[in-house]
Amino acid sequence: MAILKIARMGHPVLKCKADAVKDPTAPEIQHLINDMRETMADAGGVGLAAPQVHVPLRLVIFEIPETRLGEDHETTEELVSQVLINPIVKPRSEELTGGWEGCLSVPELRGAVPRHTNIHYQGVDEKGTLIDREAHGFHARVVQHECDHLDGVLYPMRMTNLTSLHYISEMRFNSGDLPPIGTS
Ligand code: NI
C-alpha cells in the first residue's frame, strides 16, 4: 500500500469527466482502493474520489463516522466503510439542505454547500456486488460531494453564497455548534 499524492484545485485531473471502471474486480482496482483507503486515513478525510489521486476513473470511497449516521440507519456496519464504483446518484426530492463541507483538494477551507437532502444511489462495490441505497443528511451529502469529483465539480462550484467560504483557522464557533468536519 502507498499514500498517494492528492491533486489540488486547479489540477486538470479534477476538471475532467472520469471514465467508467471496466472491471471493478480487477487487481489494479483493488490495489487502487487499498491505496486510496490509506491515503484517506492519512489525510483525515471522510471520502476520497479517484481523480483526487490523479486517477480519472469513476470510483469513490467514503467512511461515514457512526456519530453522523443518525438513528434511523440500521445498516451501520456496511456504511462505515464504503467503496462505490460507477455510481449513479439521483435526488429523491427537490429539497436542499445547507451544510459545511471541506475537501482534501481544497485544503484549509470550509464552505456551506446546499445539497439534496434525500438521494438514491446505485453502483457496485469492489467485488462487483450491486449497491442500491437511499441516503439522507450527512450520508447523502458525502455521496454527492464525492460523485461530483467524477464530473469535475468541486464543492465551491456548488456554493450559492461565497460569503461562507472560510479558512478553518479563522472560523469562530459558538459553543454547541457542530464543528465543521467533512473533508473529502
Ligand atoms: Ni472533495
For 160-179, the pLDDT digits (tens) are 999 999 999 988 765 555 55
> Which CATH architecture best describes the domain 12-170?
Alpha-Beta Complex (3.90)
At residue 26, the pLDDT reads 98
Q: How many CA atoms lie within 13 A of 50 on its CB side?
A: 26
Average pLDDT, the chain: 90
Q: Residue 1: pLDDT band by 50, 70, 90 thresholds?
A: confident
Query: Quick one: DSSP state of residue 178?
Result: P
At residue 171, the pLDDT reads 83
Per the CB < 8 A criterion, the answer to whether 102 and 141 are in contact is no
Does 66 qualify as catalytic in the annotation? Answer: no
Inform me whether the pLDDT recorded for 74 exceeds 90: no
Instruction: Please give the distance, rounded to the nearest whole angstrom, from the Cα atom of residue 170 to the centre of ligand 1.
Output: 21
Instruction: Please give the distance, rounded to the nearest whole angstrom, from the Cα atom of residue 78 to the centre of ligand 1.
Output: 22
Give the integer Cα–Cα distance in Å for 126 and 58: 12
Q: Residue 145: pLDDT band by 50, 70, 90 thresholds?
A: very high
Inform me whether the pLDDT recorded for 156 exceeds 80: yes
Instruction: Please give the distance, rounded to the nearest whole angstrom, from the Cα atom of residue 154 to the centre of ligand 1.
Output: 7
Q: Which three cell numbers stand for residue 144?
A: 454527492
Q: Residue 142: pLDDT band by 50, 70, 90 thresholds?
A: very high
Per the CB < 8 A criterion, the answer to whether 107 and 126 are in contact is no
Mean pLDDT in residue range 74-88: 75
Instruction: Please give the distance, rounded to the nearest whole angstrom, from the Cα atom of residue 144 to the centre of ligand 1.
Output: 10
At residue 140, the pLDDT reads 95
What is the three-class DSSP state of 152? coil
Instruction: Please give the distance, rounded to the nearest whole angstrom, from the Cα atom of residue 103 to the centre of ligand 1.
Output: 4
Inform me whether the pLDDT recorded for 18 exceeds 60: yes
Inform me whether the pLDDT recorded for 100 exceeds 90: yes
Exactly one of 63, 101, 126, 146 is catalytic; name it.
146
* Beta bridge partners of residue 17, listed in sequence order: none
Instruction: Please give the distance, rounded to the nearest whole angstrom, from the Cα atom of residue 114 to the centre of ligand 1.
Output: 15
Per the CB < 8 A criterion, the answer to whether 90 and 121 are in contact is yes
* Beta bridge partners of residue 19, listed in sequence order: 57
